[in-house]
Amino acid sequence: MTRSAQLLVTGCAGFIGSHLTERLLGSGYRVIGVDNFDSFYERSVKERNLSTVLDNEAFTFIEADIRDRDWLTRLGSGIDAVIHIAAKAGVRPSIEQPADYISTNIAGTNNLLDWMREQQVGKMVFASSSSVYGNNEKIPFSETDTVDEPISPYAFTKRSCELLTHNYHHLYGMGVVNLRFFTVYGERQRPDLAIHKFVRMIAADQPIPMFGQGDTSRDYTYVSDTVDGIVAALAYLDTHPHAYEIINLGNNSPVTLQTLVTTLYRLMNKTPQVQHLPKQPGDVERTYADVSRAADLLGYQPKVSLEEGLSRFVTWYKTVYT
């Protein structure tokens, strides 16, 4: 795919989507970005995320909801590939509103795939999630592991979309790379996610709520490493246009919640204040990515350590919010 190719990026105003859009535009691609400014968090946050690209002549923005099909008719032809990041986000809210997650994540993805079939757009990179592994006892998590026991509606919808993309691959020859993201963090992270929330509370001298004893662990992956993987997946589809792949994008280095909290307090020069609470339904015990497949197929190699990534996030937070 030439650098002048035109790409459709859904969820372009979100955390990962905005970083990806900047990277693609900086590499010379033309990008059509779609976002609906979901009310899950403040619209102003996403507008700030997009502020650096709105004046770029190679960028076109469409405000639309992937559950609707009308906006797809405005796209016309000439799109070379789709990078589908848009989704109803959040594990815990999905337990309270499962129908919204099914309609957005599954039906919305089907709308996009059906449009691709009609327009003969043959390549998609899909943002899946490590949540599909549930409480998998085997570690690290491998793409060959059975993922038939999701423990949240959010996880169920992401696994459903992997099966849906396989259906379109099988029936219509679409090339698809499903990327299972592992706890992505960094500048612009959603305000509801742990690192952003913890930093905000530490800065305000409020005690951090810790669900459980801090022994759960996550494979925290810095956003630039995730974007590296997405761009590499796009390049992979150039040379394997009819492939179907499921690939982990993680850091291959899980960290306990207790270690995360201790590190943040140290970086912010604050005395720890922790409030222990019961574990939450839908939360997995651990995530731990086997990234050997990503290394073999995409040349993926995470570069940013947790210490460095958290330091960058704290600096960004202070710049934006204080």
- DSSP letter for 39, please: T
Contact between residue 32 and residue 7 where contact means Cβ atoms under 8 Å apart: yes
Contact between residue 59 and residue 31 where contact means Cβ atoms under 8 Å apart: yes
Q: In angstroms, what is the C-alpha Rg of the chain? A: 19
Is position 168 annotated as part of the catalytic site? no
Name the active-site residue from 154, 168, 236, 317. 154
Q: How far apart are CA 189 and CA 187, in angstroms?
A: 6
Q: Assess whether the previous peptide bond of 93 is cis (omega < 30° from 0).
A: no
Contact between residue 174 and residue 123 where contact means Cβ atoms under 8 Å apart: yes
At a CB cut-off of 8 Å and minimum separation 6, what does 111 contact?
66, 67, 68, 69, 72
Q: How far apart are CA 30 and CA 18, in angstroms?
A: 14
Q: How far apart are CA 234 and CA 208, in angstroms?
A: 39
Contact between residue 224 and residue 186 where contact means Cβ atoms under 8 Å apart: yes
Q: How far apart are CA 302 and CA 219, in angstroms?
A: 11
At a CB cut-off of 8 Å and minimum separation 6, what does 297 contact?
236, 245, 247
Secondary structure class of 158 (helix, strand, coil)? helix
- What is the token pair recorded at 127? 């943002």
Residue of 257, 188, 251 whose CA lies nearest to 220: 251
Contact between residue 187 and residue 52 where contact means Cβ atoms under 8 Å apart: no
* Active-site amino acid positions: 154
